[in-house]
Structure 1
Amino acid sequence: MSQDREGALLDLMNSTPDGDFQTFKSEDGAFIRENFFGRDPRTAAMVANWSDEKIWNLKRGGHDYKKLYAAYSAATQKNGKPTVILAKTIKGWTLGSHFEARNSTHQMKKMTLEDLREFRDRLAIPLTDEQLDPKTPSYYHPGKDSPEYKYMMARRQLLGGSMPHRRNASRALPQPPDESYESVKRGSGHQEVATTMAFVRLLKDLVKVPELGKRIVPIIPDEARTFGMDSLFPTLKIYSPHGQKYISVDRELMLSYKEATNGVILHEGINEAGSVASFTAVGSSYSTHDEPMIPIYIFYSMFGFQRTGDAFWAAADQLCRGFVMGATAGRTTLNGEGLQHEDGHSHLLASTNPAVVSYDPAFGYEVGHIIKDGLKRMYGEDSENIYYYITIYNEPYVQPAEPENVDADGIIRGIYKYQAAAEKRDLNAQLLASGVGVNWAIKAQKLLLDDWGVAADLWSVTSWNELRRDGLEVDRHNMMNPESPRTAYITTKLAGTVGPVIAVSDFMRAVQDQVAPWVANPFTSLGTDGFGLSDTRGALRRHFRVDAESIVVATLASLVREGKVQVATLRAALDKYALHDIMAADPGNTEGSG
C-alpha cells in the first residue's frame, strides 16, 4: 500500500467483486499475479520482483492481526462520529484447500489429515503429527498460566465477566390469589363484553398482585385502543427512555397516552418483528439476568405466527416464557377488513411449535383458568420452558358467570361439557365448539331440539391443539408399551356419548380435524376455509357454513348417513334456513371490542 502513490491498488481492490476475491484464494500466487495485479500495469509492477509464494501469503485485512488491532484502536478514539470497520475475510480461512474459499456444502464436516496439518501449521498450534487423528483430532489448551489465557480472562473481566450467563431454571414467583380472577369468574351480567376486554380487565387485576404484578410487561405493536389496552396508560404508562417530549393529541381524554422513563408498556409501533424481539428478551430474562419477567404480547392474531413465525421459533429455542395473545381472532369475527386481517389458521401454525401451548377460549372464566395455569406452569415451582398462545375476540357478547363446580381440569386439558341436552330424545348429537363458535353451537343446540327433535350435548373445546398433543403422546406410549395402554383425554371425555360429533370454530376445518383420530363417534368438522371477506359477521358465517343453522344441517346430514334421519328431513332443513342464501342470515353483532 505504501507504494500505491497513485491509488491504483486501492482502486483495484475497491472495483474487484467479492466473487473474484473468493476465487483468488482458491487458486495460487501465480493466478493472483495474473488475474488481480495484472489488471493494471502499475499494480503489476508493484509485485514484479515478488515470488508467487510471497504473493500467496498476503493476508486479507480481516485476518491480519496487526491491521485489525490498528483498526480497532483507531475506531475507539473519540471523534464524535460512529465508526464502521469493514474487514475483508476469507470463508473457511485456515481450514485447508478443501474448505478455504470453496463453495462447500454444509454437510461437509470432516477435515482430512492434510487439512489438519495445514490448519496446525497456519495457526502454529504445538501438536505433533502423531497427535493429529482425522477421526478424533486432539484439542490444545495453552494452560491457565499461559500469557494467552491470562490475557483473554483479563479482557473478559474488564467486560463484566462471562455474560450473558444463561440459567436453565427460574426461581418461582408468588402466584396470584383466587380473588385476582374474580372479574372473569363472575361474568359480565347483562353487559356484552368481548373476550379481549375480559382479558384486559383480568390483566388490570393481575398487575396489582404484590411481587408479581411489577414483573408483567405488556407489549403492543399497534392498535392499543382496539384491544382496550388504553385503560392501562394512566397507571402503567408507556416506556420511553426520554419521557414524553410532545403534547399528546388525546391529552383531554382520561385514558390519554402517557409516556415515561419508568413506563412499563412497550408500545413498539407497527413493528411485529421488534415486538417479538422484545417478547423474547423479556421472556428469557429469567435465564440471562436471573429476573423472571412476564411478557404479555398482544396483537392482531393474523400478524403473529404468519408474519413472525420464525421469530416465535427462535423464542422457543431461547427457552422463552410468557403469554402471546392473538387478539381480534377468527376469520369471521374481525369482519370488514378482508383477507389481510382475518385469521383462520394461526392455531395450525402454532401447532408446529413444540414450545407453544395454544388455547381458543370462548368465555372470560375460561381465560382466567388458562392464565392461572400458565402462571403456575411457567413461573411456579418446577417451571417449564413453554409459552402460551391464547386467541381472544373483539365480538362483544354476554360473558356467563363461571358455572358451579366447573370442570377446571377439562378447561386446561382442552375440553369440558358446557351444557348437556335439555331433554332426552331418540336422536342425539355431540356439538364441539371453541371460541366464538360456542355461541353458534348454543343456538344450534336449541334449534336441533325445537325444530328437529335432536338432543345435543354441547362441549366447549378450549384447545384442539392440546387435545391432539395428548392424543399423539398416548399413541406413542401405546406403541412402546402395549401391556399398559392409555386412552386419549378426548376419547375418555366422549366415552359413552351417543350421536355424531360436529366440530366447529372460527378457524379452518384442519384445526378441528386434529382431534378426529381419537373420536369414536362419526366425526364432521365445519370451518372457515378460504380467504377472509368483508361483510357482516352473520353473512360471513353463512358463507363459510359455520353458523348455527349450518351446524344444524351438518348434524342432520350426519344422522342421514347413519340412517337415522330421512333425506327429506335434511332437505326441509336446508329450505327452512335458506342455507344457500347468504342474505337470509342474521347479520349478527357488528360492534367492536365491547
Structure 2
Amino acid sequence: MTGQQRQPVDDQTVNYLTLLDKRVRWLSAWMVHHANHLRPARDKVKVGGHQASSASLASVLTTLYFDILRPEDRVAVKPHASPVFHAIQYLLGQQDVEQLKRFRALGGAQSYPSRTKDQDDVDFSTGSVGLGVAITSFASMVQDYLLAKSWLSEEQTGRMIALMGDAELDEGNIYEAMLEGAKYGLRNTWWIIDYNRQSLDAVTPLGMSRRYEAMFEATDWTVHTLKFGKKLEAAFAKPGGAALRDWIENCPNDLYSALTYKGAKAWRERLLADLGDGSDVAALLAGYDDEALEDLMLNLAGHDLALLQETFQGITDDRPHCFIIYTIKGYGLPFKGHKDNHAGLMNPAQMAEFRALNGIADGEEWDRFAGLDEETVTALQAFLDEVPFKACGLRRHQAARLDVPAAFPCPSGAEQATQVAFGKILNDLGRTDSALADHIVTTSPDVTTSTNLGGWVNQRGLFNRESREDVFKREAVVSPQRWAGTKNGQHLELGIAENNLFLALGALGLSHSLFGTRLLPVGTLYDPFINRGLDALNYACYQDARFMLVATPSGLTLAPEGGAHQSIHTPLIGMAQPNLRSYEPAFVDELSHIMRFGFSHMQAEDGGSVYLRLSTRPIAQPERVTDAQWQQDVVDGGYWLVEPAPGADLAIVYQGAVAPEALAAFEAIREDVPGAGLLAVTSLDVLHQEWSAEIRAQRAGGHVPKSHIRRLLGRLSPDAGLVTVMDGAPAGLSWLGAVCGHRVAPLGVDRFGQSGDVTDLYRTYGLDEDAILDAAASILLAR
C-alpha cells in the first residue's frame, strides 16, 4: 500500500459494520433470487441481477455508506452492484421494500442505479460501462469551478467517488478522462476498483494490477493497492508465512479463482504440493482446520472491514486517489470464484442453505434485522440513525431559475451563416451584465475558435484555478485570441476527445442538483463527431443533465473536408435521443429565438437539453418582421415561409442550410403549380414528438388537439405531394407523408460525401434546385 495514513480501528464501528455487511450481502442476493425464482415470470425470460458481482463489492460499499461518506460526497456505484446499493439504501430508510420486491420490474428498483428512475439517493446514473466512473472527475472539476466563483464554500465541497469493476478499466473513456484530469489538476476524486479479476468471459491475467498502478501514477493519482486482509498479514508474519505470501503473489488469477470455488481441501492439497509437506508452510497450514484455512485464503482486503475502514479514514488530502482492492467474485456464495458466475444465480436449494447460514427464518427474508436479538437491533438502529451520509436525507439540491430576456440579440447582415451568428449572439450576451451571462459556461474539444466561440472567450476568459498567462500576448505575437486563464474565466478548455466533452456537459448540466448552483453549459463540436461521443451524450441525457450542444459545421456544407468530416445521420440522432430537443435553423432570426428558448428550456422542470445543428454556409437572410405566433411556430418546429393556397397540390419542405435551393426551386415552380407552399422546418424532432404524442392520445381515446405538423399540412389537398429536402439522411423528413397521407419524394444524403464545394456536392448528391424540381415533377405526374 502506498500514500496512506493508517487510522486506529474503531472496534465498535467494525462490529456494526460486520452485522450490516452480512445483512447487505443477504438482501442483495435475496432481491435477485426473488426476481428470478419467486416473482411470476410471465414472459419466461431470465431477469438477472449479478449476485456474484454484488457480493464482491458488498464490504466496500458497506464501509463507505455506513461510516466514510458525508452528505457532500457524490458516488457513482458499480452498475452490477446495484442490488447492494438498493439494500444499503433500504437499511438507511431511503428505499421501500416494495421497490426491492419489484427489482428489475416496472416501477421497481432499477437494474442499474438511475438518477431519474430510482426513488433512492442516486447521485450518478451508471450502467453504460465506464461512463459513471469518468463523470466523477468532471463533477470534481465543476465543484472546483463553483468554488472559484465563490458559489460554493470549502465546507460544502465533497469527494467525487466512483466504484468500478476491474473489467471497466478496459474502457477507453476512462483513460481519456484521466488525461484531462492530469492537465486540469484533478482534486477530491476517489476511484475504487473492485479487483475481483473476473469478467463475463475471462479471468484477468496476472500482473495487470501493476499496469493499472503505473497508468494511474502517470496521470498524478495516488495509488493504494489493497491485497491482503489482516488474517493473511498475520499468517505471513509466522514461520512459513513468507513462502505462502510468495506463492499467492505468483499464483495465476484463474488458478486462484478455481481453488476458491473448489474450497479448503483443494487449497490444502495444492499448497502442500507446491510448497512441500515438510516445510514451514506445512506446519503453518496444520494450524488451520479446513474451515479456517478457507477463511484465511479468502481473506483479501476487499472483505476485511477493519482494513477498509482504517484505509479510507486515513485519506486526509485532496489529491485524486485510486484504490485497487482485491476481492473474490461471489464472495460468500456457493459459486464464489467460478469463471461462469458473472450472470450466475443461486438455485432454490442453494438459497435455502444461504438463508440458513444467515439465520433468516421463512417469511422474514425482507426484514431489515431478521435473526438479531432485540438489544442488538436497538443498538444497530441507533448506529444507523447517526450515519453521516444520511444526515440531511436525500441530497438533491434545488436552484432558482435564471431570468432569460424576452429577446436575444439578432446579428444583422444580408448574408450570414448560422455558425457565425451563434458566435455573435453569444458574444453579445457576454457583453451584458446579467446573471444569465455569468452562469453560462462554455466548453469545446479543441475546436473553440473554429466553432466561433472565440469572441465569447475573449469577453469572458478561460477558466483556470491558477492564473495562466497568455504567453503569445506577452511576447507581442499578434493574435485575435486572448488565451489567458483565471478563476474568473467561463470557458473550460478540453483536449480533442468528444467523450470528455459530453461527460463535462453532463456534469455541468447536473450542477443545480449536485451542488445547488445552476450553470448553463454550452458545448461545441463538429457535427459529424457527435458519433465519437454518442455513448456519453446518451448517458448525459439519461441523467437529465441540462446543456446546449452546438454542432457545427454539418452535412455536406463542410464541403472541402470530404466525407470523413461530413455528417449524414446526425439529424436522426437528434430526433431519436430522449431529453435532447434538436433544431436546425436556416436563418439567423430563427437561431436567435431558438437560443433564447433553449436557455429557458434547459431550466424548465419539464425541459431538457438542446441540440443546434448549424452550418458555415452563408445564405441570404429574409427581410421580415416577426410576431409572437411566428416565434412560437419556430419553437414548435416549423412554419410556412410561403403559405399554400387552401387545398394546394404541392409543397416543398426543407430543413437547414438547403433553404436557398428550396427557395429557388419554389420560385421556379410557382407559375406552373399555383398555390404551392414552402414549408420551413426548424425541428423535425419537435414536429415528430408532438405528432407521436397526438397518436398516443388518439389510442387512449381522450380529447386530441391537432399536432402542429398536422395543422400545417392540413392546408394542403389530401392527395397533395411533398418534396422534402435536407442536408442529412432523407429519412429525417420522409415520415411527413404519414401525417395526412400525402405522397413524399424525400431528398437528402444517403452515402458518404467527398471533397468539393457546396454547389458541386449539392448537384452530385441531388440537393440542388434541379433535383428538387425533378422530384416535384415526378410526384405531380404520379397523381
Please give the range of the TM-score, normalised by the shorter of the 2 chains.
0.7 to 0.9
Alignment of 1:33-72 (within 5 A): 33-36=268-271, 38-41=273-276, 43=281, 46-48=284-286, 50-58=288-296, 59-69=299-309, 71-72=311-312
Aligned to 2:666: 445
The structural deviation recorded for 1:121 is 4.3
Aligned to 1:495: 714
Alignment of 1:425-574 (within 5 A): 428-449=649-670, 456-481=676-701, 484-498=703-717, 499-562=720-783
Alpha-carbon separation, structure 1, partners of 2:747 and 2:655: 12
Q: 2:422·2:452 contact (CA, 8 Å) conserved in 1? A: no
1:323 aligns with 2:554: no
Q: Which amino acid aligns with 1:189?
A: G
The structural deviation recorded for 1:130 is 4.7
Out of 386-395 and 63-72, give the one that drifted further.
63-72
Change beyond 3 A, Cα 1:473–1:104: farther
Change beyond 3 A, Cα 1:373–1:550: same
Aligned to 2:328: 90
Alpha-carbon separation, structure 1, partners of 2:306 and 2:641: 73
Q: Which amino acid aligns with 1:399?
A: Q
Alignment of 1:83-232 (within 5 A): 85-94=323-332, 96-97=333-334, 101=338, 103-104=340-341, 106=343, 108=345, 112=348, 115=351, 118=354, 121=357, 129-130=361-362, 132-133=364-365, 137-140=366-369, 156=388, 165-167=395-397, 170-178=399-407, 181-184=408-411, 188-190=412-414, 192-207=415-430, 208=432, 210-232=434-456
* SS at 1:365 equivalent: helix
Aligned counterpart for 1:312 among listed residues 537, 540, 545: 537
Aligned to 1:387: 609
* SS at 1:50 equivalent: coil
Alpha-carbon separation, structure 1, partners of 2:454 and 2:597: 26
Aligned to 2:520: 294
Alpha-carbon separation, structure 1, partners of 2:378 and 2:733: 64
Cα shift readout 1:430-473 (whole Å, capped 9, x = no counterpart): 010011011210111122246x5665321100111111111211
Q: Which stretches in structure 2 are left out of the alignment for 5+ residues? A: 1-235
Q: Which stretches in structure 1 are left out of the alignment for 5+ residues? A: 563-594
The structural deviation recorded for 1:400 is 2.8
Alpha-carbon separation, structure 2, partners of 1:363 and 1:81: 48
The structural deviation recorded for 1:398 is 2.9
The structural deviation recorded for 1:505 is 0.4
Alignment of 1:340-359 (within 5 A): 340-359=564-583
Aligned to 1:577: none
TM-score, with length taken from structure 1? 0.81
Out of 517-526 and 368-377, give the one that drifted further.
368-377
Aligned to 1:399: 621
TM-score, with length taken from structure 2? 0.62
Cα shift readout 1:403-446 (whole Å, capped 9, x = no counterpart): 4436222211111001247xx89995201001101121011112
Q: 1:467·1:515 contact (CA, 8 Å) conserved in 2? A: no
Alpha-carbon separation, structure 2, partners of 1:120 and 1:209: 68
* SS at 2:472 equivalent: coil
The structural deviation recorded for 1:4 is 6.2
Change beyond 3 A, Cα 1:19–1:514: farther
Out of 196-205 and 250-259, give the one that drifted further.
250-259
Aligned counterpart for 1:29 among listed residues 264, 267, 276: 264
Pick the structure with more helix per residue: 2
The structural deviation recorded for 1:554 is 0.6
* SS at 2:745 equivalent: strand
Aligned to 1:567: none
Alpha-carbon separation, structure 1, partners of 2:271 and 2:319: 34
Alpha-carbon separation, structure 2, partners of 1:281 and 1:81: 20
Aligned to 2:24: none
Q: 1:491·1:520 contact (CA, 8 Å) conserved in 2? A: no
Aligned to 1:364: 588
Out of 275-284 and 112-121, give the one that drifted further.
112-121
Alpha-carbon separation, structure 2, partners of 1:326 and 1:4: 67
Q: 2:241·2:284 contact (CA, 8 Å) conserved in 1? A: no
Q: Which amino acid aligns with 2:245?
A: L
Alpha-carbon separation, structure 1, partners of 2:477 and 2:274: 67
Cα shift readout 1:25-52 (whole Å, capped 9, x = no counterpart): 2222111222355333255564245332
Q: Which amino acid aligns with 2:259?
A: F
Change beyond 3 A, Cα 1:366–1:36: farther
Aligned to 1:590: none
The structural deviation recorded for 1:82 is 8.3
Alpha-carbon separation, structure 2, partners of 1:453 and 1:287: 55
Aligned to 2:634: 411
Aligned to 1:579: none
* SS at 1:226 equivalent: helix
Alpha-carbon separation, structure 2, partners of 1:259 and 1:197: 24
Alpha-carbon separation, structure 1, partners of 2:270 and 2:723: 73
Q: 2:729·2:748 contact (CA, 8 Å) conserved in 1? A: yes
Q: Percent identity?
A: 21
* SS at 2:334 equivalent: coil
Change beyond 3 A, Cα 1:72–1:359: closer
Aligned to 1:585: none
Cα shift readout 1:67-88 (whole Å, capped 9, x = no counterpart): 4356557x6489x998754321
Q: Which amino acid aligns with 1:411?
A: V
Q: 2:499·2:536 contact (CA, 8 Å) conserved in 1? A: yes
The structural deviation recorded for 1:522 is 1.4
The structural deviation recorded for 1:356 is 0.9
Alpha-carbon separation, structure 1, partners of 2:457 and 2:360: 68
Q: Which amino acid aligns with 1:260?
A: T
Across the aligned residues of Structure 1 and Structure 2, the Cα RMSD in angstroms comes to: 3.3
Alpha-carbon separation, structure 2, partners of 1:245 and 1:150: 55
Alpha-carbon separation, structure 2, partners of 1:56 and 1:99: 12
Q: Which amino acid aligns with 1:299?
A: L
Q: Which amino acid aligns with 1:200?
A: G
Change beyond 3 A, Cα 1:458–1:144: farther
* SS at 1:263 equivalent: coil
Q: Which amino acid aligns with 1:501?
A: L
Change beyond 3 A, Cα 1:283–1:558: same
1:16 aligns with 2:246: no
Number of equivalent positions: 534
Change beyond 3 A, Cα 1:556–1:407: same
The structural deviation recorded for 1:262 is 1.6
Alpha-carbon separation, structure 1, partners of 2:577 and 2:418: 24
* SS at 1:416 equivalent: strand
Q: 1:471·1:488 contact (CA, 8 Å) conserved in 2? A: yes
Q: 2:646·2:715 contact (CA, 8 Å) conserved in 1? A: no
The structural deviation recorded for 1:218 is 1.0
Q: 2:258·2:337 contact (CA, 8 Å) conserved in 1? A: no
The structural deviation recorded for 1:23 is 2.3
Change beyond 3 A, Cα 1:83–1:459: closer
